[in-house]
Structure 1
Amino acid sequence: MPPKKPPPLPRSLFTGGGPLSPSALHQPPSPSTVHPANIVDAHCHGIPLEHFPELQNKPPVTGSVHVGRSFSSADGSRWGKHLTVPACTVDDDPDVQATTTVPAIDLIVPCTGPLNEARWGRVDEAVNRLDGGRQKVEEEAAAGTTARKILVSGLLPPPLTKPSEPLLNSAEYEAHCGHLSQLSLHSDVVLKALPPIVDTRIAGPGAWWEDVHELERVVKMYIGPAIEAFGTHRIVFGSQPALAPSDPAIAVPVSGAAWYALLRKCISELGEESEAMTAVMAKNAEALYNL
């Protein structure tokens, strides 16, 4: 005897305000509604984000970190939740012993174009020099020792060279994502999400970076893989580029309040919610710098 068919479900379950109707299902928040609870500007060498009144309805800016290469290791200073810190570059030979008393070390990758294999090698060497290598970091973590964090600037995003379509299939983009994934295996490495720079001599023609929608698409292509590799708990926001450009051919298409707005939009459209947004924009920096 064939099994009886179950009775049909009433249409009211699926329509109007029924429990199985589309309106009753959990919907992710609209990207326009995802905002951090507060902001910490973790990388500035000019005017901190709090002094940009054009950012309307922004959350409160509760701290800032002024980063500069001209400082010595003894120059770090603090006033409330505002901090001045020295930074080294991948080409420096920092005094590792002098950094043992600080919770976070700023490491800048100075470049105006895609990193070649030699430059990526210098990044790896600098990180290994500062943390003693991945095995040492893992041993410290297993022993419950709090490792110093290495905050890397200049890689998220790297200098922009191509609009989104040619970038997607380029060797430079593939190499960047691959090396960034390898760098993420150092659990003490944190990325700073800073405004991009553009060398106008190599990124033309057409000044595509002046199109805010195209710029957003390219930035999102770098932010997505970084979140996948590092997680939102290992990314911090800063309002200024890694280094202040001194070459007039280097453009900074977005910075300060405009960079905050663009980065917030990119992160929210990648599906992150308010807790992760607050981590990137404030909480991670507060913990890393003891603000």
Structure 2
Amino acid sequence: MSTDVLPPTPKSPGVGARRKGNKQHPTLPLSAFTPPNTGTSERFPIAPSPSTLQPEDIIDAHVINASGDLSLWKSETGQTIGGRVRGIVLSLHGAQESDIEKLVQDVASAPSSTPILAIAVPFKLEDGAPTSPPSYLAVGGSSKPTIVLTSAFTKPSPAAIEALAWALTQNFVVNIDVQSDLHQDGGWEALEDLLTKATASSELKGRIILSNILPPPDDLTLPIVKLLTHHTYRSYQSHTASLSLFANLYVNFLPPAWGEPTPKTPAPPASSSEEGKEAEADKAARASIREKNEWKRRIKMYIGHAIEAFGFQRILFGSSPAALLSGSSPATNAGDWFELARESFAELGIEQDAIDAVFGQNARLVYAAHGESS
């Protein structure tokens, strides 16, 4: 059994404690999102090169495939992170309820070159607490891989509160895909209402992992300079700070729901004997680099505040978009997202231990600790 332990988390406050007055939260300076100019003093700390900060080991905490087939994921990650992946969390989102039990058995028994740390099975919050849980949800089960739950959230209800409280009491890890409207304060407040009421008991042992808030849905047509003062960004700052006060709450760092596929990692243009083709390839490469850099600037605006709120210990890297978005959003290449996510963190000037935590160690601690205690 691993001797690693999860870092202590603060006690969950009551509604009144979290909403009393307008609390001012620390903000990052604009210099955190842009490199210093050439006139900056030599004493300014130089951020590590993104190419030198690589996680030692990687655990992909969010891989969605309703059939359990990892062939596409392996083909996308093979050249970038395949050799360093030490485990994944496989989500069966989209699987038919009647097929889940067999899928769990097949995945658990099938040989795989990639260790499956946990299997996330669909769990409908709106159905309330199950009265006769299926065998794969048997309390106290010692199944390997660990069984965790994946749910979607749009609005609080007595049934959803009851279901989440039941899952946490039974020591489950619950991945919640946040589908409430986060462009409005009401969407954030609905999520906080669910969490406040579902975690009111002192007997809760499970953990909650939120998806689709890091980064949150965004409008790419809104320039970054305007986003800085936009009400949606201010709301994100305030509410992530409030969410961080909930005990045992983590966030998945996933491809964002921005209506566009993740920019591809630019490759050097292939040399060509034809001058026209070489110029065209060079033009395409430059456009790809510009697009990627624009995404990184926007992503860093969000992860900077997530780090302030949650610290590095409660952020988990995953390569699949939020569950309900994965079927309708533009396709995202897992390898391209890894490079974009890693570079975004590295360019904030963080240390090696933070990269190792976000891209591997945090998921290992969360899911291994759950498995050992169940």
1:8-66 superposed Cα distances (whole Å, 9 cap, x missing partner)? xxxxxxxxxxxxxx89x997643321111111110111357544256436651111112
Partner of 2:239: 179
Q: 1:60 to 1:34 in 2, by over 3 A?
A: same
Is the counterpart of residue 30 in structure 1 residue 43 in structure 2?
no
Q: Tell which structure's C-alpha radius of gyration is larger.
A: 1
Amino acid in the other structure paired with 1:119: G
Could you tell which deviates more after superposition, 60-69 or 77-86? 77-86
Q: 1:128 to 1:209 in 2, by over 3 A?
A: farther
Is the counterpart of residue 234 in structure 1 residue 234 in structure 2?
no
2:353 to 259, 275, 279: 275
1:104-126 superposed Cα distances (whole Å, 9 cap, x missing partner)? 21111025x64312211221122
Q: 1:173 to 1:164 in 2, by over 3 A?
A: same
> Given that residues 227 and 233 in structure 2 are in contact (C-alpha distance below 8 angstroms), is that contact kept between their aligned partners in structure 1?
yes
Could you say what secondary structure the match of 1:33 adopts?
Answer: coil
Could you say what secondary structure the match of 2:325 adopts?
Answer: coil
Q: Mapping of 1:1-291 within 5 angstroms?
A: 29-46=48-65, 47=70, 49-53=73-77, 55-56=79-80, 60-69=84-93, 79=108, 80-85=115-120, 86-91=149-154, 93=160, 94=163, 96-110=165-179, 114-132=182-200, 136=202, 147-161=205-219, 162-199=222-259, 211-245=291-325, 250-251=329-330, 254-290=332-368
**Structure 2 portions without partners, runs of 5+:** 1-41, 109-114, 121-148, 261-287
> Given that residues 57 and 356 in structure 2 are in contact (C-alpha distance below 8 angstroms), is that contact kept between their aligned partners in structure 1?
yes
Q: 1:269 to 1:123 in 2, by over 3 A?
A: same
Q: 1:26 to 1:271 in 2, by over 3 A?
A: closer
In the TM superposition, residue 81 of structure 1 has moved relative to its aligned partner by 3.3
In 2, Cα distance between the equivalents of 1:98 and 1:29? 41
In 2, Cα distance between the equivalents of 1:281 and 1:49? 17
Amino acid in the other structure paired with 1:238: G
In 1, Cα distance between the equivalents of 2:81 and 2:177? 32
1:197-254 superposed Cα distances (whole Å, 9 cap, x missing partner)? 1247xxxxxxx99811111110111011101110010000000111253775x445x5
Could you say what secondary structure the match of 1:181 adopts?
Answer: helix
> Given that residues 178 and 210 in structure 2 are in contact (C-alpha distance below 8 angstroms), is that contact kept between their aligned partners in structure 1?
yes
Identity of aligned residues (%): 28
> Given that residues 150 and 177 in structure 2 are in contact (C-alpha distance below 8 angstroms), is that contact kept between their aligned partners in structure 1?
yes
> Given that residues 105 and 149 in structure 1 are in contact (C-alpha distance below 8 angstroms), is that contact kept between their aligned partners in structure 2?
yes
In the TM superposition, residue 288 of structure 1 has moved relative to its aligned partner by 1.0
Backbone CA RMSD of aligned residues: 3.3
In the TM superposition, residue 182 of structure 1 has moved relative to its aligned partner by 0.9
In 2, Cα distance between the equivalents of 1:170 and 1:26? 30
> Scaled by the length of structure 1, what TM-score is found?
0.73
In 2, Cα distance between the equivalents of 1:273 and 1:163? 30
Could you tell which deviates more after superposition, 116-125 or 209-218? 209-218
Could you tell which deviates more after superposition, 159-168 or 26-35? 26-35
In 1, Cα distance between the equivalents of 2:217 and 2:193? 21
How many matched pairs?
248
Amino acid in the other structure paired with 1:30: S
Could you say what secondary structure the match of 1:211 adopts?
Answer: helix
In the TM superposition, residue 282 of structure 1 has moved relative to its aligned partner by 0.9
In 2, Cα distance between the equivalents of 1:26 and 1:154? 32
Indicate the structure with greater strand content. Answer: 1
1:166-208 superposed Cα distances (whole Å, 9 cap, x missing partner)? 21121111111111111111131101000011247xxxxxxx9
**Structure 1 portions without partners, runs of 5+:** 1-21, 141-145, 201-207
Partner of 2:20: none
Could you say what secondary structure the match of 1:83 adopts?
Answer: strand
Q: 1:31 to 1:210 in 2, by over 3 A?
A: closer
> Given that residues 163 and 214 in structure 1 are in contact (C-alpha distance below 8 angstroms), is that contact kept between their aligned partners in structure 2?
no
In 2, Cα distance between the equivalents of 1:106 and 1:247? 18
Could you say what secondary structure the match of 1:152 adopts?
Answer: strand
In 1, Cα distance between the equivalents of 2:83 and 2:309? 27
